[in-house]
Structure formats: C-alpha cells, structure tokens
Amino acid sequence: MKPIRSEVLQGTLDLMILKTLNAMGPLHGYGIARRIEQLSEDVLRLNEGTVYASLLRLSQKGWIDSDWGTSENNRKAKFYSITRSGRKQLTAEAENWERIAGIVGRVLKLADNG
C-alpha cells in the first residue's frame, strides 16, 4: 500500500532543516529535501521552492551559513551548515515542538461526548 503523501505543517520545515544539518553536517538544498523525505518514508513531499525559501529565511536569521562546493554528481552546489546560533534555536524550537505536540496529543485523546 502506497503511503498518503502530506504537506509539511507550516513552521516545521525550518525545524526539520536545522535538525537535518545538525545531525548530518553540510548538505546542499536538494540533499536536505531528499533526506527529510527519506526520513518521513516518503510521506512528506518537499518542493525545491519551499526548501530554498526556508534556507534563505534561516540564512537571513544567521542560523545557517552557506559555501559553494561540488556535489556528488560533480556539479557546483551551495552547501548549507548550521551555525552556533542555529544550534541554540534548534534546541529552543525542538523543546517548543515537543510541548505543542504533547498538548495536541492530549486533546486528541479526549473522549467523545456523545
């Protein structure tokens, strides 16, 4: 049975990108997108425009840096890496996400009244 593909919840892509870069080290945008899709077992679909918009936003906030390098297929690519302030932000956002997910989980466990 093929998994149902889902859109990324607004606000979670930045968190997933920061976590991916923190765990895997420098990656180019396409590699980041494919890794997140792979970890989601292809449930999430990420278009490159969305990923690059997030990378630009993270870069403007100083949470990631970028340098030009050569990709696996010998093409010039921009590689992104997490900064020290990005690691601090990742910790804060991950804690917030855990708290919110816990609240949503408790609400979903409410018994139906009827």
pLDDT of residue 45: 86
pLDDT of residue 8: 62
Distance CA 100, CA 110 (A): 16
pLDDT of residue 72: 87
pLDDT tens track for 50-87: 899 999 999 999 999 999 999 888 999 999 999 999 99
Say yes or no: domain 12-108 is CATH 1.10.10.10. Answer: yes
The pTM assigned to this predicted structure is: 0.85
pLDDT tens track for 89-98: 999 999 999 9
Q: Where do the domains of the chain lie? A: 12-108
pLDDT of residue 90: 97
What contacts 46, CB < 8 A, 6 or more positions away? 8, 13, 33, 36, 37
Burial 3-37 (b: 16+ CB within 10 A, else e): eeeeebeeeebbbbbbbbbeeeebbbbebbbebbe
pLDDT of residue 11: 73
pLDDT of residue 111: 78
pLDDT tens track for 3-52: 555 556 667 999 999 999 999 999 999 999 999 999 999 888 888 888 99
